[in-house]
Amino acid sequence: MITVLRIGHRPDRDKRITTHVALVARAFGVDEILIDKKDSELERTFLGVCERFGGKVNIKTGVKWREALKNWKGQIVHLTMYGEKFDAAMDEFDRDGDLMIVLGSEKVPREVYEMADINVSVGNQPHSEVAALAVFLYKYFDGRPFKNFEDGQVRIIPNKKGKTVVEN
Ligand code: SAM
């Protein structure tokens, strides 16, 4: 089980970027997305994508992040520009266990750095939670990250030119 926990979501400012965090998580095979602030509109948008394109990915907003971290039974990785280099960290993950991936927004409380088993960077420059998550998952899944969802209303057939969409 892989869960993404997004901390510091501001529904008025971050709707789009947090939606993108959730979409990247889904596309790369994450099972569950937890977001600290309640945002029913974001949940609706995300579940709409799952309905159309498939995938049973749980999303929950309004989650108490401290409790979520405390109650997590598997490993916790916090993605931050201050962490250990992501490629060097790959051997430290127990592939048979559960993994929670924590992403911040603005300043992340120090507690998060301490509660994580490992703080991991995707380069040591500030950039984006969406990019950090995608690059981390690509490496974590060893370059074979993308999910095929069979249960959607539509399926996309890869096409060099144009769009091929099949109704299920
Ligand atoms: N100063 C912040 C920090 O502590 O990383 C940067 C905030 S950034 C806009 C929002 C989130 O993107 C961070 O909390 C982190 O999860 C992720 N992020 C940004 N740059 C990253 C990097 N180089 N490596 C890993 N994660 C990064």
Q: Does domain 2-167 have CATH number 3.30.230.10?
A: no
Cβ(19) – ligand 1 distance below 6 Å? no
Cα(167) to centroid(ligand 1), Å: 38
Query: Structural domain boundaries of the chain?
Result: 2-167
Cα(104) to centroid(ligand 1), Å: 6
Cα(79) to centroid(ligand 1), Å: 7
Please list the residues that pair with 155 across neighbouring strands: 166
Q: Are 49 and 146 in contact (CB under 8 A)?
A: no
Per-residue pLDDT of 145-166, as tens digits, reads 677 888 899 999 999 999 999 9
- 37, pLDDT greater than 80: yes
Q: In what order do the strands lie in the sheet with 118-121?
A: 58-61, 32-35, 2-6, 99-103, 75-85, 118-121
**Torsion sign, CA atoms 41, 58, 38, 134:** negative
Report pTM.
0.95
